[in-house]
Chains A and B, each alone.
Chain A
């Protein structure tokens, strides 16, 4: 096994997801199969190869530091599940 059930539960917490017992078992089996397949990468010799992070090498993209119009407060809050006044409202964070 590449990944155990308790690891799946831990990764789910990191990803802010939760699963039923049955879902956890199914994910564990499926992730195992996928990770076993990934093992083939160990056959590739990558000694001294720089990891590639971008398809097209680009330097930092800078723009002029100018004040421009941005979204209005109304437009920004319009999609919020629970907006109150000028704020996004969430369940309590601290006891």
Chain B
């Protein structure tokens, strides 16, 4: 086993036992990056020098016996998290040269915990997409099959973790952007409760839905990362001042006597047969562990996609109004007056999908259409949340497929936005309701593509998700498969 293939907790043990150093770990990660990155393209920017300097500093601390949770561990950051002095592009031409003057809170927290940063990972432009194909900096490939997409929008983070180009990574999830790529790449991903993790320094997409979370190689690492990321931040007014438990305590509790809800609306026509089989196999494993699986209903599920593609673009059109070529980012030099400068900078600076969503969002908020679209969608959103409230009266957690199909081919859905949007059909309701969701690998198709199961819980019940995910991981016996690169 190479060092870069290990988990956070395995590396911690080795560091504590004096069997390895942070420098060796970081060197192993960059050897791997040098070998596979030309095929995978998980990163927009590599910060090799800074990582090696960070590793040297970590090794000094380790010598002094000062070992924190992530001391010397290489972590990758999605390129929409502000990093002081390091470009943060959001995979967009309009921010291609933006150098933030401050760190995002999660970046600060990870650094304070001892982490070393490998670089900034690729993503769909402004996190708008399900395939990482809309990046201004090129497509990320799925490490299991280089002709396929890794999912999105946090496709670079998911690919980097499964290709062992980092030990863990951070992503963001507005409608499934952590969970969908985690499922399609075969790693663990968590979207925490809305308000659980500070978004200070996260470039905003849809502010009532965005949430930051980790990608890891196993469930224990997810608990370790959540311990660092979660918590109130006075700089972020939607972060919630609620107590944060030690998530590691949930790793070994088991799920005996639990009720696990299976929402019948999630087993739709059009779901891939092998995905369905893998989920049904997962249900059997869960039942074998002393939990009872019961059918529940989320009757407004069919409306989720329509609600999401009104609310998210509406919020995005407002959030992205700030990119005007004045204070930072790209400015077109062709504008003869201020209005022309705005229009030409924005039109040349944003890609097609971002412009499509700005247009959709501006339209649904415009005078005469607000009630028909935005208000109606916000009302149906309330009904979707009520569905979950009712379901969680009957069960501890919900179990669902994460995606209708395994990873699709590059280019397969780029010409049909609605088809692309449908790949998020099982993940967006979570963001609309603000509840936490977690994805764990649950098998492979015959073609060798990973499938992930999604667990959902009530607000601030990430602990329950870790509890069932850890129990499942231990009992599923999936073995350690690695992509052949």
Chain A residues proximal to chain B, CB less than 8 Å: 3, 7-8, 11-12, 14-19, 27, 30-31, 33-35, 37-38, 40-42, 44, 46, 49-56, 58, 61, 63, 71, 75-76, 78-82, 88, 90-93
With an 8 A cutoff between CB atoms, is B375 at the interface?
yes
A8 in complex: contacting residue of B237, B303, B359, B373, CB < 8 Å: B359
Chain A residue contacts of B376, Cβ below 8 A: 41-42, 44, 46
Closest chain A residue to B240, Cβ basis: A56
Chain B residue contacts of A18, Cβ below 8 A: 343-344, 347
Instruction: Decide: A88 and B326 in contact? CB cutoff 8 A.
Output: yes
Chain A residue contacts of B335, Cβ below 8 A: 91
10 more contacts with CB within 8 A, not counting A31-B360, A51-B375, A55-B195, are A15-B362, A17-B343, A18-B347, A40-B303, A41-B306, A50-B382, A51-B381, A52-B381, A56-B194, A92-B337
Chain B residue contacts of A55, Cβ below 8 A: 194-195, 208-209, 385, 431-435
Instruction: Decide: A16 and B346 in contact? CB cutoff 8 A.
Output: yes
List the 9 closest A-B pairs by CB distance, nearest first: A55-B434, A51-B378, A79-B328, A81-B331, A61-B237, A46-B379, A52-B382, A75-B101, A55-B194
Chain B residue contacts of A35, Cβ below 8 A: 363
Q: How many interface residues does B have (CB within 8 Å)? A: 72
Q: In the complex, A92→B317 CA distance in Å?
A: 26
Instruction: Decide: A41 and B377 in contact? CB cutoff 8 A.
Output: yes
Closest chain B residue to A16, Cβ basis: B342
With an 8 A cutoff between CB atoms, is B133 at the interface?
no
B-side interface mostly: helix
How far apart are B192's CB and chain A's nearest CB, in angstroms? 12
With an 8 A cutoff between CB atoms, is B356 at the interface?
yes
Q: Residue among B102, B324, B358 with the most chain A CB within 10 A?
A: B358
Chain B residue contacts of A63, Cβ below 8 A: 234
How far apart are B237's CB and chain A's nearest CB, in angstroms? 4
Instruction: Decide: A49 and B379 in contact? CB cutoff 8 A.
Output: yes
A15 in complex: contacting residue of B102, B317, B337, B383, CB < 8 Å: B317
How far apart are B466's CB and chain A's nearest CB, in angstroms? 20
With an 8 A cutoff between CB atoms, is B459 at the interface?
yes
* Given A16-B324, A17-B355, A78 contacting B379 (CB threshold 8 A): no
How far apart are B243's CB and chain A's nearest CB, in angstroms? 15
B 343-361 binary contact with A (CB < 8 Å = 1; else 0)? 1101100100001101110
With an 8 A cutoff between CB atoms, is B340 at the interface?
yes
How far apart are B334's CB and chain A's nearest CB, in angstroms? 10
How far apart are A33's CB and chain B's nearest CB, in angstroms? 6
B 302-345 binary contact with A (CB < 8 Å = 1; else 0)? 11011101100000010001001111111100011111111110
* Given A16-B346, A80-B327, A11 contacting B379 (CB threshold 8 A): no
Chain A residue contacts of B310, Cβ below 8 A: 38, 41
Q: In the complex, A16→B94 CA distance in Å?
A: 14
With an 8 A cutoff between CB atoms, is B280 at the interface?
no
A–B complex contacts, Cβ < 8 Å, 10 sampled: A11-B362, A15-B359, A16-B339, A27-B355, A34-B360, A51-B379, A53-B208, A55-B195, A55-B432, A79-B99
* Given A15-B359, A44-B383, A79-B327, A58 contacting B300 (CB threshold 8 A): no
Instruction: Decide: A19 and B383 in contact? CB cutoff 8 A.
Output: no
Instruction: Decide: B347 and A19 in contact? CB cutoff 8 A.
Output: yes
Instruction: Decide: B359 and A31 in contact? CB cutoff 8 A.
Output: yes
Chain B residue contacts of A38, Cβ below 8 A: 306, 309-310, 373
Chain A residue contacts of B343, Cβ below 8 A: 16-18
Instruction: Decide: B337 and A58 in contact? CB cutoff 8 A.
Output: no
Q: In the complex, A83→B305 CA distance in Å?
A: 43
Which B416-458 residues have C-beta < 8 A from chain A? 417-418, 431-435
Chain B residue contacts of A88, Cβ below 8 A: 326-327
Q: In the complex, A91→B324 CA distance in Å?
A: 12
Instruction: Decide: A56 and B195 in contact? CB cutoff 8 A.
Output: yes
How far apart are A43's CB and chain B's nearest CB, in angstroms? 8
How far apart are B118's CB and chain A's nearest CB, in angstroms? 24
Chain B residue contacts of A27, Cβ below 8 A: 355-356, 359
Instruction: Decide: A3 and B326 in contact? CB cutoff 8 A.
Output: no
